[in-house]
Amino acid sequence: LPESAAVGTLVTRVNATDVDEGLNSEVTYAVTNFIPPSARDVISINQKTGEIHLTAALDFEEVNVFDFRIEARDQGTPPLSGHCKVVLEVLDVNDNAPEVWVTSLSVPVAEDASVGTVVALLSVSDRDSGANGRVRCWVWPASPFGLEATFAGSYSLVLREALDRERVSEYEVEVRAEDGGAPSLRASRGLRVPVSDVNDNAPAFAQAVYTVLARENNAAGAELARLWARDPDEASNGRVSYSVWEGGVGAGGAAGSSSSWSGAGSGGGWRPASSYVSFEVRAVDAGSPPLCGNATVQLFVLDENDNAPALLPPAGSAPEAGAVAAEAAEAAAGSGSGTLWAWAAWGAPAGQVVAKIRAVDADSGYNAWLRYELWEPRGKGPFRVGLYSGEVSTARPLDEADGPRHRLLIVVRDHGEPARSATATLSVSLLEAAEAALAAGSSSSAVAAGASSSLSRAAVGVEMGGGAASAATNVWLVVAICAVSSLFLLALVLYGASRWAPRAAVLSGAGPTTLVCASEVGSWSYSQRHSRSLCVADGAAKSDLMVFSPNFPPPPPGAAPKDTQPEPSALLDT
C-alpha cells in the first residue's frame, strides 16, 4: 500500500477452506503475531470474512514493512486451525518536504570581505526516498551570496560579490530547497546577515565651491557660513571634524563640530585685507585611517560705510606751499576739514574753474561715490561747486562788488547709509589778472618744492584750474622776454658810452718808463725804484693790473713844453 492510504482501506482478504461440514467447516480469522509490534494498531481483520483493513495511517519513513500471521480456526471439537503470513509493504509517497538547518553562521560580515568568504554552513535533507528525497538548493536573492556543496547534504553560504554597507547594511538571505518528487515539495530557511562598517568613505561636501557673502566689521564669533560634509560611514568612521586648511583666512577663524562647520571672525571688527578671500575647509572623519574631504570657500566681503571721505593733499594753490599746506593737511587729517587757498581774477567769466576739491573714500561701490556741496555761502554767490567733479568755478562774471576775498565751506558726502562727510574751507582771493596768475605760478612752484612732504602727510587738497596755470605760464614768458630785452639795451648803452666818452688827460714829465705789476701774492712790484702815486676809482677788483707811465720822446732842445704844469703822478681813470 502507498503510505498515503487512508484509514479503513482494505489491505487484503484472506480465505481459508474446510472440507468438513456443519460447525466443523465454519472458520474464524485472527491475527496472532505482529512484526513489528506496532502493527497491532495499524491493521485489523474481520473474523468472519477475513478482510484486513487499515486502522491507522501509514508512514514509510517510520515503518515501511509490516509482517504479521493470520490464523484460521474452525468450530469443531477439537478445533483445528491453519496459518498464513501477510507481508505489507508501504510504498513511499513524496509527503515530506526538504529540511534546511544552519549549522554555523559567521556574522556580521565586514563590507571589505573578499569574494569567497564563507558566511554560513548549512545541512539539507529529505526523509523521502528515491527521487522524492533528492534535494536541490539555491539562495534567494541570487546576489551577493551563493551556495557551494561541500559533501552530501552539506552546503556553504559564500560571498560572491563585494559588499557595500552604505548601499545595503543588512541582507535577508533565504536558502531554498526542493525535492525531486511529483509534485515536488519545497522548504526554505531565512538568514539575517548584517554588514559591518569599514572606513571606506571620505567626508564629502555637497558642493566643491561655496560662495559666501559677509559684511565687514563682523563681531567676534559671528557666523559667516555653515558647511556640512556627509560621511555615509557609521559610528566613529562617520564622525566628522572641520578645520580651515593651511593658513585659512588669516584674520578670521573656524569653528568645528561633528555635524557642520561655521567660520567666524576671530577679532572685534574683522576686516580682511581685500574684499575677496578664498580658502579651503577640510572635513576629517575619526576612522582608522582617517579620510578627509575638502571644499573651497569663496568669501566676498560686503562693504559697510565705515569710512568718511578724506580730502587729498593740495596739487597747487597754497600761499606758503611747504609748511602751510602740510599744517593744513595735518589739521584736515585730524578733523576731516582744512583751509585751502585759491586765486581768481577780476572779471573772470562764468564757468571758469578756480580750484578743484579732491577727495577719496576708502569704501567701495555706492559707499565710495562722492558728491560735493557748497554749504556756505548759500544762495546766489559768485561761486559754485560741481556736484560730482568737485570743481569750484565761477557762477557768473566776477566784479569789484563781490569783494576781495570769499570763504567757501564745501561738504563732501558719500552715498552710504548713513552718509559720512568731510568739510573743506576754501579761501578765494580776487586779484588782478596778472597778480592772480603770478600768485598761482608762485604757489605751484612752492608746492612742487615740498611735494614729497605734503603728499605723505596731507589730507586736504585743491587743484588750480587750467585757466590760471596757463595765464601764469604766459606772464612768465613775457617777463623773461622783457628781461632779456632790457639786458640787451643796457649792454648797447654801456658799449656806446665807453666807446665815445672823452678820456681824461694824462700828464707826465720826461723820464724813463715805469712798469707797475700786481703780483700773484697781491704785493706790488716796480721795474724801477721810482715811486708813483696810483689812483683807482671804485669798482670791481681785477686779477691783474698793469700801469704804464707816459713814454714820450724828450723834447728838442730849446723847445718849450706845451704844458708848464709841474710833473704830476700818473693818473688812471677807469
Does residue 457 surpass a pLDDT of 80? Answer: no
Task: Report the C-alpha gap between 323 and 450 in whole angstroms.
Answer: 8
DSSP β-bridge partners for residue 208: none
Name the pLDDT band for 179 (thresholds 50, 70, 90). Answer: very high
Task: Report yes or no: 264 and 221 within 8 Å, Cβ to Cβ.
Answer: yes
CB atoms within 10 A of CB 501: 8
Most confident of 193-207, 242-256, 492-506: 193-207
CB atoms within 10 A of CB 377: 13
Predicted pLDDT at 378: 80
Does residue 497 surpass a pLDDT of 90? Answer: no
Predicted pLDDT at 315: 63
Q: Find the radius of gyration of the CA atoms of the chain.
A: 67
Predicted pLDDT at 527: 43
Averaged pLDDT, 415-422? 93
Closest CA to 213 of 199, 223, 201: 223
Which fold does the domain 310-473 belong to in CATH? Immunoglobulin-like (2.60.40)
Task: Report the C-alpha gap between 207 and 213 in whole angstroms.
Answer: 16
Helix (H) or strand (E) holding 299: strand 292-302
Does residue 87 surpass a pLDDT of 70? Answer: yes
Name the pLDDT band for 557 (thresholds 50, 70, 90). Answer: low
Averaged pLDDT, 452-479? 51
DSSP for residue 270: B
DSSP reduced 3-state for 408: strand
Domain spans in the chain, listed from the N-terminal domain onward: 10-89, 99-196, 204-302, 310-473, 502-574
The x, y and z cell numbers of residue 63, run together, are: 515503518
Question: Residue 299, class by beta-carbon neighbours within 10 Å (0-12 exposed, 13-18 middle, 19+ buried)?
Answer: buried
Predicted pLDDT at 470: 55
Does residue 90 surpass a pLDDT of 60? Answer: yes
Predicted pLDDT at 537: 44
Closest CA to 295 of 225, 232, 366, 220: 225
Please check whether the two domains, 204-302 and 310-473, share a CATH topology. Answer: yes
List, in order, residues 6 or more apart from 27 with CB less than 8 Å away: 16, 17, 18, 72, 73, 74
List, in order, residues 6 or more apart from 562 with CB less than 8 Å away: none
Instruction: Specify the CATH number for 99-196; select among 2.60.40.60, 3.40.50.2300, 2.40.128.110, 3.40.1190.20.
Output: 2.60.40.60
Does residue 442 surpass a pLDDT of 60? Answer: no
The x, y and z cell numbers of residue 105, run together, are: 553562521
- State the first-to-last Cα distance of the chain, in angstroms, to the nearest integer: 178
Closest CA to 190 of 136, 139, 145, 152: 139
Does residue 563 surpass a pLDDT of 80? Answer: no
Name the pLDDT band for 559 (thresholds 50, 70, 90). Answer: very low
Name the pLDDT band for 338 (thresholds 50, 70, 90). Answer: low
Does residue 163 surpass a pLDDT of 90? Answer: yes
Predicted pLDDT at 314: 63
List, in order, residues 6 or more apart from 567 with CB less than 8 Å away: 507, 508, 509, 511
Closest CA to 263 of 318, 220, 321, 205: 220
- Output the CA torsion 201→202→206→210 (10° steps): -170
Residue 119 phi, psi dihedral angles, 5° rounding = -100, -40
Does residue 194 surpass a pLDDT of 80? Answer: yes
Name the pLDDT band for 460 (thresholds 50, 70, 90). Answer: very low
**Of 455 and 149, the one with more pLDDT:** 149
Predicted pLDDT at 475: 78
DSSP 30-62: EEEEEESGGGGGTEEE-TTT-EEEE-S---TTT
**Of 202 and 541, the one with more pLDDT:** 202
pLDDT in tens, 247-296: 545 444 454 544 555 665 544 445 556 788 899 999 999 999 999 999 99
pLDDT in tens, 357-390: 999 999 988 899 999 999 988 878 889 999 999 9
Does residue 297 surpass a pLDDT of 90? Answer: yes
Most confident of 347-361, 423-437, 557-571: 347-361
Strand order in the sheet with 109-110: 109-110, 186-196, 170-179, 135-140
Does residue 198 surpass a pLDDT of 50? Answer: yes
Q: What percent of the chain has pLDDT over 90?
A: 46
Amino acid of residue 224: L
Task: Report the C-alpha gap between 290 and 549 in whole angstroms.
Answer: 118
Averaged pLDDT, 448-466? 38
CATH 3.30.565.10 fits 204-302, yes or no: no
Task: Report the C-alpha gap between 341 and 440 in whole angstroms.
Answer: 10
DSSP 419-476: --EEEEEEEEEEE-HHHHHHHHHHHHHHHHHTHHHHHHH----EEE-HHHHHHHHHHH
The chain-wide mean pLDDT, for the chain, equals 78
Predicted pLDDT at 268: 44
Question: Residue 210, class by beta-carbon neighbours within 10 Å (0-12 exposed, 13-18 middle, 19+ buried)?
Answer: middle
Averaged pLDDT, 208-230? 90
Task: Report the C-alpha gap between 395 and 386 in whole angstroms.
Answer: 11
Does residue 356 surpass a pLDDT of 70? Answer: yes
The CATH number that domain 10-89 falls under is 2.60.40.60
Given the C-alpha cell 560730482, which residue does it identify? Answer: 388
Averaged pLDDT, 139-146? 90
Averaged pLDDT, 156-179? 94
